[in-house]
Chains A and B, each alone.
Chain A
Amino acid sequence: MASEIKQGTLELVNHLPILQVITPMLIAPLLVVLNNKTLSWLLSFLGTLACLFISILLIQGVSDGSILTYYLGGWVPPIGIEYRIDAANAILLFLISIISVIVLIFSYSSLHAEIPEEKHTLFYSCFLLCLTGLLGVVATADIFNVFVFLEISSLSTYVLVAQGAYLDRRALSASFNYLIMGTIGATFFVIGIGYIYMATGSLNMMDIAERASQLGDNRTIQAGFAFIVVGMGLKLAMVPLHIWLPNAYTFAPTVVTCFLAATATKVALYVLIRFVFSVFNYEDNFVNELFFLLLMPLAVIAMIAASVIAIFKQNLKKLLAYSSLAQIGYMLLGLSLMSQKGLASSLVHMVNHGFTKAALFMSLGAFMLNTKNVYIKSLRGLGKSMPFTSAAFVIGGLSLIGVPGTAGFISKWLLLEATLETGYWLVAILIIASSLFAVIYIWKIIEVLYFSECSESYSEVSVLTLIPIWILALFCVFLGINTSLTVDVANMATEILFK
């Protein structure tokens, strides 16, 4: 501790990395104290807008390749907790913040249909805590801090998923499953952190990387890494550990499903990426073999199997949940190629798939406002009575398939390029096969929407519900045409990670 008198010298702009995380953390308890339904929506909306603004400033700050650091409490790392923003996490902070803003606009007009009014304040408070957790995981450079924020986000996620019980009691068992699996994952993760701390005596990512490189081939660190891969595998729904995801996504309120599908699994994948490249040595034989022999086959199985299962699902939320598993397979595949292009495709796909899946789930939520359920048969002929929602759904679906001109195309193209560059022809063929399965299940829905007789006539949902859906749909198109936000930032991020 510095003993001399120190004057406060930091400007507000220096505080951006921490403000990003603590703005929602400050508002969450405030909502509970004020306990006013309208005010709590307004405050959370303003809070997330502030987060979005901060994340844009952060992207600008790191766009020249620089790294923003922040020492919590003025304690210098490795003793203190350090926040460290580079291109890789700035893009994810942006994704999480913008999705939270859009989801909150959607919740204003749709939440009352899924959650009783008296619970709205607590719901928004929980939502903001979840947001705090996700942002914190991404921003921090301290591995124990990662665990703490991961638990903040997970615990509030369990509560948010359980809120679906108002419409369907099965949400409770889905949430409980998620709780058990998520807690096992967190336990594995923290055991891994324990092993790393045992071997290196440090919790700061940069410091660990430095100390571990001096240790060479260390069995303790390898065991720690294996634990972390399994723990994060549970959180990101890597295929044999995915069992919690379909039910959690299906029975959670639509607002929650949108938010989780677009952010939560991506954040877990980000943690894995961060550990592989910033904490461990990605050139290490052990890491490479683990990814080549274990994660790549699992990713390919996820791509194919989950897509095939999705084709046969009648509940559309469940169908999209299985499709999410397949998409997570793409991202894992990009990572497990262990090449710059592969990692870049993985990062780009995180963002693109985030927008795509959010658009799809949100338009399902709009259908649900009218039809009360999302079984494929109840969507008959909605293309005529709800033209705008259906059109947005189609755009999202095209992006999910990867049609040129949409966001999905960009990331799938990059992934194909990366696999061909590494020479895995078979994997490239399987990626295309998986996309064809996506064509089947999306076409199945489009056929019902546009080419079946309308059983009942519904009116289009309100403009306020359509706005967030169309923002997301337009993002799907925009990111397919203008790639400066995604591909360029991802390339810069991989430069930093691979140095």
Chain B
Amino acid sequence: MVSKEEKIKNETMKHHLILKVITKFMVGVIVLFGLYVQFHGDYSPGGGFQAGVIIAAAFILYGIVMGLENVQKVMPIWFAQKAAAVGVLVYALTGFFSIIFGFEFLNYHAISPEHPKHGQHYGIILVELGVGITVTFVMIAIYYSFAGRTPRLDDKEW
């Protein structure tokens, strides 16, 4: 006797060979593009929010095509939860760094007082990194919590 979930899993895994091959190829490219948007955020359109969504899209694509169990082997639920918190910590600690060195909260001059312009540059990168990490893993966590529910109807019953 095959359980309902397993049946759904087998149905989705059986065909779609092209999709699966292309997905395996695309995931890497999407993550790479995400990182490009992330690290160019300080002087061109982009930044943490956009990059986070793009990188999360790679994982979500993998999850849709390969099944939830497989993507959760790569990215466990607990990791997504904690990493989302780490992103906020990166942001907050960047701000606290300035306070410790006698500047205003999030004043990036503190990072390099001799070269304020460099300080601004590094500060933006750090903050965007925090934003990027949080957005990536929150998107993934949202996808997990919706995808983790067993559907009431499988494809055949529609």
**Which residues of A pack against B, CB within 8 Å?**
1-3, 5-12, 15, 18-19, 22, 25-26, 28-33, 35, 70-74, 125
Contact B113 A15 (CB under 8 A): no
Contact A71 B104 (CB under 8 A): yes
Give the chain A neighbours of B103 by CB distance below 8 A: 6, 8, 10, 74
Contact B99 A33 (CB under 8 A): no
Within 8 A of A (CB), among B84-130: 84-89, 92-93, 95-96, 98-99, 101-110, 113-114, 116-117, 120
Let me know if B40 is at the binding interface, CB within 8 A.
Answer: no
Bound form: Cα–Cα A1–B101 in Å: 19
Give the most central of B84, B98, B106: most A CB within 10 Å.
B106
Closest residue of chain A to B93, judged by CB?
A26
Bound form: Cα–Cα A458–B117 in Å: 68
Least CB distance, A367 to chain B, in whole angstroms: 35
Bound form: Cα–Cα A319–B96 in Å: 44
Q: A1-B116, A32-B81 are in contact. Are A74 and B89 (CB under 8 A)?
A: no
Contact B113 A5 (CB under 8 A): yes
Give the chain B neighbours of A12 by CB distance below 8 A: 99
Contact A32 B85 (CB under 8 A): yes
Let me know if B82 is at the binding interface, CB within 8 A.
Answer: yes
Closest residue of chain B to A6, judged by CB?
B109
A5, A18, A70, A73: the one contacting B116 at CB < 8 Å is A5
Q: Summarize A's interface: helix, strand, loop or mixed.
A: helix
**Which residues of B pack against A, CB within 8 Å?**
81-82, 84-89, 92-93, 95-96, 98-99, 101-110, 113-114, 116-117, 120
Least CB distance, B71 to chain A, in whole angstroms: 21
Apart from A11-B102, A12-B99, 9 more pairs, CB < 8 Å: A6-B103, A6-B116, A8-B98, A8-B102, A9-B102, A22-B96, A26-B96, A29-B85, A32-B81
Closest residue of chain A to B114, judged by CB?
A5
Contact A18 B102 (CB under 8 A): no
Contact A28 B88 (CB under 8 A): yes
Bound form: Cα–Cα A359–B89 in Å: 34
Give the chain B neighbours of A33 by CB distance below 8 A: 82, 85-86, 89
Q: A6-B113, A22-B92 are in contact. Are A1 and B85 (CB under 8 A)?
A: no
Bound form: Cα–Cα A31–B89 in Å: 11
Least CB distance, B158 to chain A, in whole angstroms: 26
Bound form: Cα–Cα A10–B93 in Å: 18
Give the chain A neighbours of B120 by CB distance below 8 A: 1
Bound form: Cα–Cα A32–B84 in Å: 9
Closest residue of chain B to A15, judged by CB?
B99
Give the chain A neighbours of B106 by CB distance below 8 A: 72-73
Give the chain A neighbours of B108 by CB distance below 8 A: 73
Contact B116 A29 (CB under 8 A): no
Bound form: Cα–Cα A6–B117 in Å: 12
Least CB distance, B104 to chain A, in whole angstroms: 5
Q: A1-B120, A73-B108, A74-B107 are in contact. Are A7 and B85 (CB under 8 A)?
A: no
Bound form: Cα–Cα A70–B98 in Å: 14
Bound form: Cα–Cα A113–B88 in Å: 30
Q: A25-B92, A26-B96, A32-B85 are in contact. Are A73 and B114 (CB under 8 A)?
A: no
Least CB distance, A5 to chain B, in whole angstroms: 6
Least CB distance, B42 to chain A, in whole angstroms: 14
Contact B82 A7 (CB under 8 A): no
Give the chain B neighbours of A32 by CB distance below 8 A: 81-82, 84-85
Q: A22-B92, A29-B88 are in contact. Are A35 and B116 (CB under 8 A)?
A: no
Closest 4 CB pairs of A and B: A8-B102, A32-B85, A29-B85, A74-B107
Contact A30 B102 (CB under 8 A): no
Q: A29-B89, A33-B85 are in contact. Are A8 and B110 (CB under 8 A)?
A: yes
Contact A29 B102 (CB under 8 A): no
Bound form: Cα–Cα A8–B100 in Å: 9
Contact A18 B105 (CB under 8 A): yes
Contact B85 A73 (CB under 8 A): no
Least CB distance, B66 to chain A, in whole angstroms: 28
Give the most central of B82, B98, B109, B120: most A CB within 10 Å.
B109
Closest residue of chain B to A74, judged by CB?
B107
Least CB distance, B123 to chain A, in whole angstroms: 9
Contact B102 A70 (CB under 8 A): no
Least CB distance, A110 to chain B, in whole angstroms: 26
Bound form: Cα–Cα A1–B107 in Å: 11
Contact A2 B116 (CB under 8 A): yes
Give the chain A neighbours of B98 by CB distance below 8 A: 8
A8, A72, A73, A74: the one contacting B101 at CB < 8 Å is A8
Least CB distance, A270 to chain B, in whole angstroms: 22
Contact B107 A35 (CB under 8 A): no
Give the chain B neighbours of A73 by CB distance below 8 A: 104-108
Bound form: Cα–Cα A380–B122 in Å: 65
Bound form: Cα–Cα A22–B99 in Å: 11
Closest residue of chain B to A17, judged by CB?
B105
Contact B116 A3 (CB under 8 A): yes
